[in-house]
Structure 1
Amino acid sequence: MTTAPSLPSPSGAQDAQAIHLALRAHLHQRIAAHGGWIGFDDFMAQALYAPGLGYYANGSAKFGQMPQGLRQAQSEETGGTATDVQGAGSDFVTAPEMTPLFGQALAQQVAQALQATGCDEIWEFGAGTGALAKQLLATLATLKVTVRRYNIVDLSDSLKARQQEALQSYGSVVHWVSSLPEQFEGVVVGNEVLDAMPVNLLVRKGGVWMQRGVVSHGEGFDWQDRATDLRPWVEVEGEHDYLTEVHPQAEAFVRTLGDRMVRGAVFFLDYGFPEAEYYHPQRHMGTVMCHQAHRSDADPLQDVGLKDITAHVNFTGIAVAAQDAGFELLGYTNQAHFLMNCGLVAAMQDAPLPERVAAQKLIMEHEMGELFKVIGFCKGAAWPARGFSHGDKTHRL
């Protein structure tokens, strides 16, 4: 296995370019060491997590509100009104950065889960800037819910530093760990975590399924397909060419949680579909997307290390993996129903106008309300989780 070159933390465009060039060289070395071809899952893992170089392992801003100039330009394109926000240098914004009302609503579900399972620990995977942790802890304190320990599992040292700064007032409660212990208990939270886990690409050409991988092409990279026994979860109707993903790493992660959790509950919030929609015959171009400077593109082979790479979640696969690992399903619904069940609308009534506007994006169907889903599990007998009390879509998994 090749070792990624180490670089100082980036401080500008020159550092970003240096990271890009070093990661590109690292990937070329890795491809050569593996006979000239690596699966896309390997490429995605390196592009995101190679030590010191991958997108989540380097020091770029990543999270933040859309810069005002770009928001103004996009607003003018759609006839809207620009909002004065900051965040130059960031690539995307997640719900906790949009409004604290997101974490306040989720805290209602976490509070119920802690009580129902008899736990006093929280485990957050991929904590971003620490905004969600701060919102959860503050709201749980107002609800008089005791949290003895808040554990953050994050692979990014640069994000860990941001989290430590944001959560310094919770120093006695918040702890950072590099991996799960062999046994643990508590309530697990993961907001936009599963979508960042590497996926295998499968492509059907002329009725034959192939695995899509990456080869070196000059200074850059290109696609190359090879024979494989891998198949999508369900048979995709039709004979047309078709590109899609399978998610062994996300499913293995859920099985690990199930194998090691003694008692507790798990809640994942992410964008995705149940398998019937995921592998719909019309979804023939796959779901892999990249995010850079608040714009999206579908070419993960370009600008490696400088942009996020994601794939939508197959929630049926996640549910089956959880069931195989001994979890009981608490529910599955869209983000709009989940947050409204957890009191978001009532909280919006007393919030300032900018907060209400941001919160509306969390639940509007054409924004995040329908595309984002929430799935919950528990160890032991299932209980009526508040977030799924209305609009449960478990029957669609």
Structure 2
Amino acid sequence: MLPPSEIALAHSRSVQAMIREKILAAHHWISFEDYMNLALYAPGLGYYSSGATKLGNAGDFVTAPEISPLFGRTLAQQLWQISQHLAQFNILEFGAGSGKLARDILLELEKTAALPEKYFILEVSADLRERQQSGLKQEIPHLADRIEWLEQLPDQFTGVILANEVLDAMPVHIIKWRNDNVLERGVTWQNDQFTWQDRAIQDKELLTITQQLTPEINPDNKPIDYVSEINLAAVHFMRSLASTLQQGVILLIDYGFGRSEYYHPQRNKGTLMCHYRHHAHDDPFYVPGLQDITSHVDFSAVTQAAENAGLQLLGYTTQAYFLLNCGITEILAQTSAEDTSHYLPQSNQLQKLVSPAEMGELFKVIAFGKDFSEPLSGFSAGDMSRLL
């Protein structure tokens, strides 16, 4: 792994000092959710709030829109179908990254004469927001007036809400189970470094969820230690979206599992993962502020929160099935196979998006609707709702 530069290390030390002060001010202990929130989102210091490149070959990880425009073009086919059944067609994208997904979707929808009235972007990172604004205005100037950046979720919205790799970056609580004992794993500062420390759970909502999960985690009542994550932020996020959405569809794309697989007995060390310079590891205390920290998504918890808030599950499947159902191979076929300089790179990109060894199976697509009952083409085959 390429070591950080001195400038980057200095930044990380500033982030470390900031988090240390928060720990000392909180009686020498903060939840991991608080730690992750500070490391990723502290204004001017957190990973997503600083100016370092995050996406693409020069960054720390690559998302589907960065891999290929085929992803956004194919997703646009699903958005076009949804648009035919809405009183008003707008798109609201959370965490738009480099802006490539917005660009590819808008250019594809322009071909079908089904452009949204507005393409809203809600981006918590000021740095990424500036890059999106600059890039999109340069790349699609004729569509720039349709794009609008928001500071917060609107009170009411009709259309499609889109979030690609957003849930996995939400701060999570880490829980440790041992027989009937359940503790929250937090962060303290000892011997000039961050270290884990377990304490009794104080949050009532968190405690209730952990108590409901215990039988699944330890069905044989054997003395085991089991560590995993609970994403309360995702639960609250779904409640907020349900309150905002008047009519339309919510499309979430991320990596994760249904609950029985998420909390499988063999997954006893959780799903926490960090990304630095395209290297994945499980140490969230390494160079805080310079690396991404993520957790897989419990799609059962997301579904339960959505349905409790009045949303209807419209489909749940793998990214591979979703893209194939929406016609990604037909879109590739628009480029002649004889034009090898263009066709072969796109063919390789398609494989990365749908191959089980790449993104095809780990990444899932889930859709929820309000006042919307039309079957979605993306789930016409391979629906896995029964696994939620």
Aligned positions, number:
363
Structure 2: tracts of 5 or more residues without a match: 202-206, 336-342
Partner of 2:36: 44
From 162, 171, 187, the counterpart of 2:160: 187
Residue 271 (structure 2) pairs with residue 287 (structure 1) = yes
Aligned mate of 2:114, from 121, 141, 145:
145
Shift of 1:232: 6.2
Q: Do the aligned partners of 1:233 and 1:246 also contact (CA within 8 Å) in 2?
A: no
CA distance in 2 between counterparts of 1:262 and 1:147 reads: 16
| CA distance in 1 between partners of 2:85 and 2:10 (Å) | 50
Q: Which amino acid aligns with 1:137?
A: L
Distance in 2, Cα, partners of 1:60 & 1:233: 40
Q: Which residue matches 2:338?
A: none
Match among 233, 236, 239 for residue 255 of structure 1: 239
Pick from 158, 170, 186 the counterpart of residue 127 of structure 2.
Answer: 158
Deviation at 1:346, TM superposition (A): 1.4
Residues 146-181 of structure 1 deviation map (CA, whole Å, 9 limit, x = unaligned): 311111001111111211122101321111111112
In structure 1, distance between residues paired with 2:95 and 2:81? 22
Which stretch of the first structure deviates more once superposed, 105-114 or 223-232?
Answer: 223-232
Q: Is the 8 A contact 2:9 2:287 kept in 1?
A: no
Residue 320 (structure 1) aligned with residue 304 (structure 2): yes
Equivalent residues of 1:212, 1:225 under 8 A apart: yes
Q: 1:377 to 1:320 in 2, by over 3 A?
A: same
Give me the CA root mean square deviation.
Answer: 1.3
Q: Contact between 1:207 and 1:241, CA under 8 Å: does it hold in 2?
A: no
Counterpart of 2:319 in structure 1 is 335
1:214 corresponds in structure 2 to 187
8 A Cα contact 1:332 1:388, kept in partner: yes
Secondary structure at the counterpart of residue 15 of structure 2: helix
Matching residue's letter, 1:50: A
The one-letter amino acid paired with 2:153 is: L
Deviates more, 1:282-291 or 1:255-264: 255-264
Which of 122, 126, 142 aligns to 2:91? It is 122
Task: Name structure 1 gaps, 5 residues minimum.
Answer: 1-11, 66-86
Taking a change above 3 Å as real, the CA distance of residues 251 and 390 of structure 1, as seen in their structure-2 partners, is same
Counterpart of 2:361 (choices 356, 370, 387) is 370
Give the distance between the partners of 1:174 and 1:226, measured in 2 at CA: 46
Distance 2:377 2:20 in 1: 49
After TM superposition, give the deviation of residue 381 of structure 1 in Å.
Answer: 3.9
Question: Scaled by the length of structure 2, what TM-score is found?
Answer: 0.91
Secondary structure of 2:96's aligned partner: coil
Superposed, which structure 2 residues align to 1:1-397 within 5 Å? 13-65=5-57, 87=58, 90-168=59-137, 169=141, 170-205=143-178, 207-228=180-201, 229=207, 231=210, 234=213, 235=215, 236-237=217-218, 238=220, 239=222, 240-351=224-335, 352-397=343-388
Deviations 1:309-361 (A, max 9, x none): 00000001111111111111110000000000010111223342111101111
Q: In 2, are the aligned partners of 1:200 and 1:246 still within 8 Å (CA)?
A: yes
CA contact (8 A) 1:329 1:382 kept: no
Paired residue secondary structure (1:116): coil
SS in 2 for 1:265: strand
Q: Deviations over 1:49-93 (max 9, x none)?
A: 00000000001101013xxxxxxxxxxxxxxxxxxxxx3xx1010
* Separation in 1, partners of 2:247, 2:118: 15
Q: Spell out, residue by residue over 1:120-147, the C-alpha distance to the aligned partner (whole angstroms, 9 max, x if none).
A: 2100000000000000000000111031
For each residue in 1:75-113, what CA deviation from the matched residue of structure 2 results, as whole angstroms up to 9, or x when unmatched? xxxxxxxxxxxx3xx101000000000000000111111
The answer to whether the 8 Å contact 1:117/1:265 transfers is no
Determine the C-alpha separation between the residues in 1 that align with 2:193 and 2:39: 13
More deviation in 175-184 or 263-272? 175-184
Instruction: Give the structure 2 partner of residue 5 of structure 1.
Output: none
CA shift for structure 1 position 267: 0.2
Partner Cα separation in structure 2 for residue 188 and residue 258 of structure 1: 10
**TM-score, normalized by length of structure 1?**
0.89
State how far apart, in whole Å, the 1-side matches of 2:378 and 2:366 are: 9
What is the CA-CA distance between 1:206 and the residue it aligns to? 5.2
8 Å Cα contact 1:187/1:264 also seen in 2: yes
Aligned equivalents of 2:6, 2:158: Cα separation in 1? 44
Say if 1:121 and 1:37 are closer, same or farther in 2 by CA, change over 3 A. Answer: same
